[in-house]
Amino acid sequence: MKFRNQEQKSILRKEILYKRNSMNLDEISSKSKLIQENLIRDPEFTKAKSIGLYLPIGSEVETSLIITHVLNLGMILLLPRIVSHDLRYQIVEQKDFDKHMFDINKFGIKEPKLKSLSVDFIDILIIPGIVFDNYGYRVGYGYGYYDRYMSNKKFSKCIGLAFDFQFIKSHIPIYSYDQKIDLLITESGRHEFNPSTVLM
């Protein structure tokens, strides 16, 4: 059963990732703009003081507008860095971007330099993904970094960003370590999930 579920996840990951990677740069940019604007207007986002975000790679939903908005409003911006086998969120300021104070990790993803500026709790954690289902579960690249971080519950709400075609109406195969998001933002709007719904 576990092998079959892993195989289903792998097939789903490849299918949706292929579709996402087939988008041209203009399409990624225009749809990402709509998604970011939808997030910035969302009530969960507007009342937050600290935002855990990601720097996109490849065809992931862009986040530059969110970064600018958060920094301009004086909110706390945190970006993840891989430390050992886990994510550690570091506070990032405008000067970090101005001075290009970032490293490139083994996956080719830009991440903040390791420093002591961090927080114990994040109001809104915003994450990418390849597939999101109708129950709030997601399929990532398969390394488990976000699921491990989310299992610590050091955030108030977790929001996924995705293009509409990444949101499927059925459910994906899950395991006990898979974590749910609370809300998904796509170019067509917001999709909220019941936190008490757990599929096994």
Provide the residue range defining the domain that includes 159. 2-192
**In this structure, what CATH number is given to the domain that contains residue 155?**
3.40.50.10420
Query: Would you tell me how many other CB atoms lie within 10 Å of the CB of residue 199?
Result: 13
Among 58, 64, 54, which Cα is nearest to 21's? 58
Higher per-residue pLDDT: 2 or 1: 2
- 143 within domain boundaries: yes
83-125 residue pLDDT tens: 988 999 999 999 999 999 999 999 999 999 988 777 889 999 9
- 199 within domain boundaries: no
Whether residue 1 is predicted with pLDDT greater than 50 in this model: the reply is no
64-75 residue pLDDT tens: 999 999 999 999
Distances (CA, A) of 118 to 7, 91, 107, 110, 197: 38, 5, 23, 18, 32
- 10 within domain boundaries: yes
Residue 78: φ, ψ to 5°:
-125, 140
Q: Which two tokens stand for residue 170?
A: 């059925």
Provide mean pLDDT across the span 155-173.
94
- 200 within domain boundaries: no
* Residue with tokens 């790679």, as numbered in its chain: 57
Q: Tell me the C-alpha distance between 174 and 172, whole Å.
A: 6
Number of domains present in the structure of the chain: 1
129-154 residue pLDDT tens: 999 999 999 999 988 999 999 999 99
- 198 within domain boundaries: no
- 112 within domain boundaries: yes
Q: Tell me the C-alpha distance between 46 and 133, whole Å.
A: 25
Provide the residue count of the chain: 200
Among 120, 121, 83, 79, which Cα is nearest to 96's? 79
pTM: 0.92
Q: Are 163 and 31 in contact (CB under 8 A)?
A: yes
